[in-house]
Amino acid sequence: MKYTTCFRPAIAALIFAGLSGNAISAQGERVQPKQLIVDKSLPQMQLKTNEAVARDYATFWNTGNETLARDALAANFVDKTPPEGRKQAYDKLMEHGIDALVAIGGDGTLTGARIFAQEFNYPIVGLPGTIDNDLYGTDITIGYDTALNTIMECVDKIRDTATSHDRLFFIEVMGRDAGFLALNGAIASGAEAAIIPEISMEKDQLAEMIETGFRKSKNSSIVLVAESEVTGGAMGVAERVKKEYPQFDVRVSILGHLQRGGSPTAQDRILATRMGVAAVDALLDDQRNVMMGIQNDEIVYVPFSKAIKNDKPINRDLLNTLRISSI
């Protein structure tokens, strides 16, 4: 058993005490090393302490008792041992003769792909598959157009109710910290406004929207709200309106997972096919750790690090487009 001396000095005496006298029976449940490699230049007491720490940590791996790990390791310890799941995945890839991977997903998927590729020196390229459209380096992601069309269809149906009952509807759409679905969904569906996280951090969108009198020329209003802690989501915005602007008859609709399903649009099918072909070509050209992106209708390679870490900016010209079109 190999180990390094990375343990809490404050508990060293306690661990050592556990190796002597009547406390040895408690230590009998600890893993016994088949081979012990030690630094013989250390004092004997230090060696015994280090052995106790190593046995604690080894027993944690066998039993899952996290208390042993916390006791054995220093507060600033970082375990860089690859999780068992990733090692199993690599072994299966080797077993089946799979030479490379194409990872399809958002920033979480690409982050995992990047880590896996680095740990095992394995060729991986990525495709941007997320309805949020928030990956840097590509104009559009796979699934975004389909979700946008779903939002448009849902808002069209909700408008019938909003118009007949003279109500203010807040419709929550997905996107996390990105407002692409809310902003473009509002434009496509003819909504009166969109509340998005990119702008919420700069100004009070709700107050501005109310103060500009956005309902003067219409007997109903629909506002799309991006789900986000920054915006407060549709429920948060609606509660605020009820308190601060009680003259409005407010309703909330959360589209939820409706946005994730359905038959893909023609644009998404074409985009996915183009990027899939490009991914195979990239692997054949010995590319790795890159995401397929599309810029100005051309396929580009975007390093995982940039796609994941950089924030994709919103097109602020579209905010003015929405404002003018809602008059």
Is 1 a member of any domain? no
Question: Does the pLDDT of residue 14 top 90, yes or no?
Answer: no
Report the C-alpha gap between 200 and 177 in whole angstroms. Answer: 11
Mean pLDDT for 90-116 is 93
Is 242 a member of any domain? yes
Is 325 a member of any domain? no
Kindly report, residue by residue over 41-77, the tens digit of the pLDDT. Answer: 888 888 788 788 778 777 777 776 777 777 767 666 6
- Is 91 labeled as catalytic in the residue annotation? no
Are 244 and 96 in the same domain? no
Q: What percent of the chain has pLDDT over 90?
A: 39
Q: Domain residues for 206?
A: 144-261
Instruction: Indicate which residue of 56, 71, 107, 132 is catalytic.
Output: 132
Q: 13: pLDDT confidence band, cut at 50, 70 and 90?
A: very low
Are 38 and 62 in the same domain? yes
What Cα–Cα distance (Å) separates residue 95 from each residue in 101, 118, 120? Answer: 14, 20, 15
In this structure, how many other beta carbons lie within 10 angstroms of the beta carbon of residue 11?
18
Are 219 and 167 in the same domain? yes
- The predicted pLDDT at position 291 comes to 97
- The predicted pLDDT at position 3 comes to 37
Find the CATH number of the domain harbouring 282.
Answer: 3.40.50.450
Are 186 and 248 in the same domain? yes
Name the domain count of the chain: 3
Any idea of the CA torsion for 82, 84, 89, 93, to the nearest 10 degrees?
80
299, burial (CB in 10 Å: exposed 0-12, middle 13-18, buried 19+): middle
Is 95 a member of any domain? yes
Q: What is the pTM of this model?
A: 0.70
β-strand partners of 127: 104
Kindly report, residue by residue over 159-202, the tens digit of the pLDDT. Answer: 877 776 667 889 999 988 899 999 999 999 988 888 898 886 55
Are 158 and 242 in the same domain? yes
Q: 261: pLDDT confidence band, cut at 50, 70 and 90?
A: confident
Is 4 a member of any domain? no
Rounded mean pLDDT of the chain? Answer: 81
Is 185 a member of any domain? yes
Find the CATH number of the domain harbouring 184.
Answer: 3.40.50.460
Q: 245: pLDDT confidence band, cut at 50, 70 and 90?
A: confident
- The predicted pLDDT at position 25 comes to 31
In this structure, how many other beta carbons lie within 10 angstroms of the beta carbon of residue 233?
19
